[in-house]
Amino acid sequence: MSHQSDVNGDGTDGRETAGSVRPAVLSGAPSHDPGRPGTRSGGVPLRDPAHPVSRRAITLWLLEGAIWSVVLTAGSYFMAGWIGGARWSWLPGWVPDNIGLLPWVLGAFFAVLTVTESLWRYATHRWELTGDVVYARSGWISRDWVFVPVSRIQTVDKAQGWMERMLGLATVEIRTASHAGSSTIKGLDYRVAAGLADELARRAEELRDDAT
Amino acid sequence: MPPASPDAGPPAGVVPAVPPATPSLRLSPKVLLTDPIRMLPSLFLPLAGVLFLGGFSPGSFVWAALGIAGSVVYSAVRWATFTYQVIGDRLELTRALVSRSVRTIPLERIRGVDVSHPPLHRLLGIAVLRIDTGAGGDDKQEGELDGVTVAEAERLKAVLLWHARARIARRAQSTREAVGKPTATAPAPGTAGAAGESAGPGTADRGAEDVGGVSAPVAGGTGPAEGRHEVGEATPERVFLVVPRKWLVYGPLSGAYLLTPFALVAGAVGAAFQWGGELGLARQAVWSAGEWLWARPLLLAAALAVLLLAMPVVGVVMYAVFNWDFTLRAREGYLVAERGLVTRRSVSLERRRIRGFELVEGLVERRTGMARAWAIVTGLGDSQTRGQLLPVVPRTTALDVVGEAVGPIATGLRSHPPTARRRRLFRAVFPWLVVAACAAPAAVAWSGPWWGPVVAALLLAGLGIPLGLDRYRSLGHAYDGSRLSVRSGSLRRSQAVVERRAVVGWTLSQTWFQRRAGLLTVTAGVGAGSGGYAALDVGEAEGVAFVAEVTPDWLAAFLAGEDPAVHE
């Protein structure tokens, strides 16, 4: 196990320094090795944020992906029926003949895509609160790293959609005066999210300065 | 009778010690003239309708007269039932028409006060006062006093802004006490504010320029000015630049208003369709007129040529109307930009809230050495129109003026890696190649006019090469120890210079393509201006280093392999 030393000396006990929100809150979730501080994100000289999001977030992304897949596949099914029935003269003959395959191909493609995306997202989405700076990474094919110092935070929201509610997850939205300095951490365990939101709100109150 | 006519009201109420409590006031009675006249356009249609329907019978004239009288009565009632009052630390706008509504604006939320003089108002010597509370977003300005006398506008502006300054001064003092540093040269948060209370020597850094500046008090503003001297604000105004009228011809170089002739024609055609029916003109007639014109291509070409020739002329005229005598001056902690021929518009930007500026140069402007400038101000709604510091002026002048008013421009921008050039080129050329590739089979299959899009797309792809190269040349970022700067764009090249303290967060983003090229985009989140200023396609290591350079303590804990202690 590795811990970072407390850079700002903000009074925490030195061993558990990955923010004041202890990873212990995660005890329910099987967190895999928080930290991996040495690992770099590709060629970008930043280490990974310490905490992964909840494992149930994978389920959340799978569900979201599944809904889209079903909608689009159903859409392609109807479109295939339409094209197959219409037999437009300007289409080459093989198109209406084989159009029935389109929903199957698309369905398989979306299924693979959904699974890949969910797992990939779980690997990418990580967060950390250290030295009064929130550090969060998100995305999958493209990635975002966001740094928000607690002193600049204006509001901290904790939100739950119906799917998140079902899975016991929550999203923490950290807002500053700028959209480019604001962060949204999705797929957190509800208790972790509540703890993080409370902690951020408390620290933001203490550190508040007028910089906008 | 109104409790106190603002015309007669002395510019009292600016008492430094106690918060001024002005009596409840009404707008100038002259709005009884302006309001109905302003309503005329919206009344015109119903009135015309009544007259037409009534066949111009005496009865219909009576109804029309009743309509006009009604609007006059309506504005009289509106005038009589609307009052405004400064009570303690808030401004209350009370409207008691049917139900009573009170809009309360805390004075400490007031960020700026604009006074404008539309033509009719100017004739009558009244003004429109708008109060900007920096509510942000699409909210309309929260307070508007349409129709106060010019003197009252100046007085009220002084009162409202006095409160804002007093608050700043209080805050500056409390922070000074907290830090235990009694010097007024304390850094940023209270630059202009410190001057509010501690008189002469306290006019910190930028304020000092104002003291030494040209003293030219505005006519009519003497009353409130005396009031302000009482609170120790001894900084006379200073004019940075009055844009010479001959520079108005540079306006169209920015590309602004060039399309006005076409917009006018489109508007006329639209109006012909919409009003044609009402004026008894059959829609058919309009159509046939169009067909007649279409059948005579020579005439059409001539019309087009006229429109094209009119572009620069109309462009200059429109630009001149909006930017006539553009004046930038400093007045007691505010930068005031005034402009306009018909409607004279004045925007006050609180200097304390200015975090930097943006210098914008279009393609033609760069060829001719011109530039425009905007201020980056926190909490300024509609900053695109309101934050403008300079219209199209020679670049050197722009740099001089902005350098004095806000700060110098950053030089020595670091260029971005060669892979960024490839990416700029790819993005400028590839989409058009895709279009061409899609259109080409269609052209082969159906021939004829489909070759048009293919050729056009290929042409644009060809133009994409110099465009991409130029976009790459524009890219750059820099940090000089207190201000960061990023530059990008070609057709509209823009360089932003932002103070470090304005940065509220960072977003680093990397698409799959950028990852392949070892690049990323670093966006500084700034609570002002457009909200974020991005350095596009920086090298991965350079980008992170840039963030670490500007805000070292935010990033120290997260750098990979930087701190061996991290690994324990």
- 3-class SS string, A19-59: CCCCHHHHHHCCCCCCCCCCCEECCEEEECCCEECCCHHHH
Query: SS3 for B318?
Result: helix
Asked if A7 has any chain B CB less than 8 Å from its own CB, the reply is yes
Chain B residues in contact with A128 (beta carbon < 8 A): 558
Task: Kindly give the confidence (pLDDT) of every residue in chain B, 568 residues in length, as a single tens digit, with 9 standing for 90 and above.
Answer: 334 444 433 444 333 444 455 678 888 888 888 877 777 777 777 777 777 766 677 777 787 788 888 888 888 888 888 888 887 777 888 887 766 777 777 776 777 788 888 888 888 888 888 887 654 443 444 678 888 888 888 888 888 877 767 766 666 666 555 544 443 333 333 333 333 333 333 333 333 333 333 333 333 333 333 333 333 344 567 888 999 988 988 888 877 777 878 888 888 877 777 666 665 666 677 778 778 878 888 888 888 888 888 888 888 888 898 888 999 988 878 888 989 888 888 888 888 889 999 999 988 889 899 999 999 988 776 677 778 899 999 999 999 999 988 888 888 899 999 999 999 999 999 999 999 888 888 778 777 777 888 889 999 999 999 999 999 999 999 998 889 999 999 889 999 999 998 898 999 999 999 999 999 999 999 888 788 899 999 999 999 999 999 999 888 888 886 544 444 3
Quote the minimal CA–CA distance from B498 to chain A in Å. 12
Nearest to B210 by CA among B357, B112, B390, B331: B331
Separation CA A117–CA A186 (nearest Å)? 15
* B547/A141 Cβ within 8 A: no
Q: Where are the domains of chain A?
A: 2-26+126-211, 57-121
Among candidates B514, B528, B567 on the partner chain, residue whose Cβ is nearest the Cβ of A37: B567
Tell me: domain A2-26+126-211, CATH 1.10.287, correct? Answer: no
Between chains, do A179 and B557 touch, taking CB under 8 Å as contact? no
Of A38, A39, A180, the CB nearest to B524: A180
CA distance B247 to B244: 6
CA distance B395 to chain A (A): 30
A91 touches chain B (CB under 8 A): no
Name the 3-class secondary structure at B141: coil
Q: How far is B109 from chain A (nearest CA, A)?
A: 14
A130 touches B: beta carbon within 8 Å: yes
Alpha-carbon gap, residue B267 to B323, rounded angstroms = 23
Q: Band of the pLDDT at A65, cuts 50, 70, 90? A: very high
Q: Which residue of A has its CA nearest to B539?
A: A44
Write b or e for each residue in B186-202: b if 16 or more Cβ atoms lie within 10 A of its Cβ, otherwise e: bebbbbbbbbbbbeeeb
Cβ(B375)–Cβ(B366) under 8 Å?
Answer: no
Sign of CA dihedral A84, A89, A93, A95: negative
Q: What does the alpha-carbon distance between residue A1 and residue A108 come to, in Å, rounded to a whole number?
A: 40
| Ramachandran class of B449: left when φ > 0, alpha when ψ lies in -120 to 50, beta otherwise | alpha
Angle at B324 between CA B320 and CA B326, to 5 degrees: 130
Q: Is-above-0.80 flag for pTM?
A: no
B70/A142 Cα distance (integer angstroms): 63
Q: Count CB atoms within 10 A of the CB of residue B95.
A: 15
Q: How far is B174 from chain A (nearest CA, A)?
A: 13
Asked if the C-beta of A18 comes within 8 angstroms of chain B's C-beta atoms, the answer is no
Q: Which residue of A has its CA nearest to B512?
A: A142
